[in-house]
Amino acid sequence: MPNSTVKLTKRHYYLAGVFLLVLGWQGLSMRYSQVLVPSPVETVKAMAELYTSGELKENLIITFQRQIAGVSIGVTCGLIGGLLAGCFKRLELLMQPLISFLLAVPAIIFVTMAMVWLGMGTNMTIFLVSLLVFPVMHTNTVEGLKSIDRTLLQMAQVYRLPRLCTISKIYLPGMRHCLVAGLSLALASSIRLTIMAEMLGAREGMGQRVAIARAYLETDHLFAWVMILLAILVCLEFIVVRPLKRWGVYGPQQTE
């Protein structure tokens, strides 16, 4: 009972915070012109218009296809590179400058470079997402290998455990937390990277629609796309990221 009461109280505070944000939004829309700050009602109407016209579905599909392709390539390359670097110290040292460079340089620089190399469109967006997801997954994979208890590995060698048994009983449980952290961060950041790439260098997709709404001062559509993006991020957090984190902490037996 105490735990449910605490959770209920936190939920109430969260909902109260959302209500205050909407209330402040409404106040700003009453203070300034609708061109600058459309009201929540106008934004909901714009969202309904995007849905009924089919524009929402069409651009969501394009954006998600790019995001899924980019994050899949980035996570796969990061996982493979991290495993190799974690097993071979010299390779880790050789790759470290590249990883540091990718993490340090602002994403907008890579968008500009990708537009020069690949032009505008899907290939550029997928390249950018995979390029910036790669170092995140690589770093977490290397840290996961380093976090494994070496005494367990020595014990596996002494008792001559089969390789598959060592991987399933020692490597995967030991790396689980870091792998889940890297995958969660990659998923959360990939959608924002996709939108940014589309805003600057695509002819279709959610990001491109945001750029058009800004250019033509269709502020209600601009706010509508922002709210849709926020809804996607919230759904991603509760449906994918949080269950992944619980699995990373407690394991498959206690995720429910």
- Per-residue pLDDT, 255: 46
Distance CA 150, CA 221 (A): 56
Tokens of 236: 């991603």
Give SS3 for 217. Answer: coil
Question: Which residue in 37, 3, 32, 25 sits closest to 219, CA to CA?
Answer: 37
Distance CA 19, CA 14 (A): 9
Question: Please, is 237 exposed, middle or buried when counting C-beta atoms within 10 Å of its C-beta (0-12, 13-18, 19+)?
Answer: middle
- What CATH number was assigned to the domain covering residues 38-254? 1.10.3720.10
Tokens of 193: 């990277």
Q: What is the dihedral of CA 125, 130, 132, 134, to 10 degrees?
A: 180
Alpha helix (H) residue ranges in 147-236: 150-158, 163-166, 172-201, 206-215, 219-236
Whole-model pTM? 0.82
Question: Which residue in 24, 158, 192, 30 sits closest to 166, CA to CA?
Answer: 158
Q: Are 74 and 131 in contact (CB under 8 A)?
A: yes
Question: Which residue in 20, 30, 10, 44 sits closest to 231, CA to CA?
Answer: 44
The 10s digit of each residue's pLDDT in 18-59 is 889 989 988 988 888 887 889 899 999 999 999 999 899 999
The 10s digit of each residue's pLDDT in 196-237 is 899 888 888 899 999 999 888 889 999 999 999 888 888 888
- Per-residue pLDDT, 1: 46
